[in-house]
Structure 1
Amino acid sequence: MQAFANNLNQTTITDHLVDRCKQGDVRAFRELYNAYSAAMYNICLRMTGNVADAEDTLQEAFMQIFKNIERLESASSVTAWIKRIVVNHCLSRLRKKKVYFEEVDNIDVEEDRGAVDEDSFAWTVAAIKDAIHVLPQGYRTVLNLYIFEEYSHKEIAVMLDISESTVKTQYMRAKDKVRQIVKQKNVIR
């Protein structure tokens, strides 16, 4: 019951904050930015792969958020709305850099969200993050959207304007590449 009360209180605060933003309250914009910027920056950093692009993308996304706040229909969906804008700005930045997605048709790849085969080496968060960071941008984008942002293969295909089979293939290849990189680093150490 306490969790429901806290959630209700948070919704009320968010409703009030969004209303203030819609009225042009600069302090409310700062509060909204402070409430969401850290999480959205992490999305930008994962998707763009470097600090400068992440910072620029976050800045651009929040400018659009502030400019279009009146279009937000319900404060209860503010997080999803902000995240969608941030992800779209990341994808726009990647398109400008001409990120390559290898087009593959008619390949049957099973969707796997199951347990990871850890083999006999130690998986560490740092090793996996490092491995993801060195992936080619196309692989990294699909992997981030699928694993961290929890979009489906179909949603990612629409976002990137590529086939669903290409998304699945990019995802599977990205996973394999991460495994190879982590294994290689653990053998070398």
Structure 2
Amino acid sequence: MNDPVLLVKECLKGKPAAQKQLYQLYASQMLGVCYRYTKSMEDAEDVLQEGFIRVFKFLHQYKGEAELGAWIRRIMVNTALNYLKQSKKYQNDLLFDKAELHIVSSDDPEVKLNAKELAQLIRQLPTGYQTIFNLHAIEGYTHVEIGQMLGISEGTSRSQYMRGRHLLISWMNNTAGNKKLGYAK
């Protein structure tokens, strides 16, 4: 069944085969989304399972206005954020200080990394930086939206994003330097 609207209708009728197909269609992609917000694959799998529970619970609210994958992605992001807020091992990492930073250069580094290397660097960011970086740079949320989602000010979101970005640039420059010198990272 390739038609998402028909697949949703079949899921809403409670048909297990349709529910399984919906899960199989989106699970691997959504696991990647969940993994971007957590520090382990085990945590990402927990978020994925909780996210799909929410998908099936709220599937009746899907109106077909947005692409089904985008609708599911938003649920996964919100589920990941809730997981981070509720998990004891992530709570301290999500404490954002209110101090504003000076403006960090917005110049893009002249570093070429492949997507996998960049993803690995992003995962090494402290959880708060990683979360805000993913929400803004990857998911496309504004700092106002991020502030509302995380219960922080727009300014805090901006400063945490810039700190994370600055750290990434530093690591990227370091990684590129190591590659030029022939060091394995």
TM bin (shorter chain): 0.7 to 0.9
Q: TM-score, normalised by structure 2?
A: 0.83
Contact 1:17 1:28 in 2 (8 A): yes
Aligned residue pairs: how many?
174
Query: What's the counterpart of residue 108 of structure 2?
Result: 116
Alignment of 1:29-178 (within 5 A): 29-74=19-64, 76-96=66-86, 97-98=90-91, 99-104=93-98, 116-118=108-110, 121-178=111-168
Structure 1: unaligned runs, 5 residues or longer: 1-8
Query: What's the counterpart of residue 6 of structure 1?
Result: none
1:17 has 2:7 as partner: yes
The one-letter amino acid of 1:162's match is I
Post-superposition Cα deviations, 1:18-43, rounded to whole Å, max 9, x if no partner, equal 11111111111111112211221111
The one-letter amino acid of 2:50's match is E
Q: TM-score, normalised by structure 1?
A: 0.81
- Supply the RMSD in Å over aligned alpha carbons: 2.4
- Following the alignment from structure 1 to structure 2, what is the Cα–Cα distance between the partners of residues 75 and 18? 13
The one-letter amino acid of 1:47's match is Y
Equivalent of residue 27 in structure 1, options 17, 40, 43: 17
Structure 2: unaligned runs, 5 residues or longer: none
The SS at the match of 2:52 is helix
Deviation at 1:159, TM superposition (A): 0.7
Post-superposition Cα deviations, 1:116-160, rounded to whole Å, max 9, x if no partner, equal 231xx4433333222211110000000111111111111111111
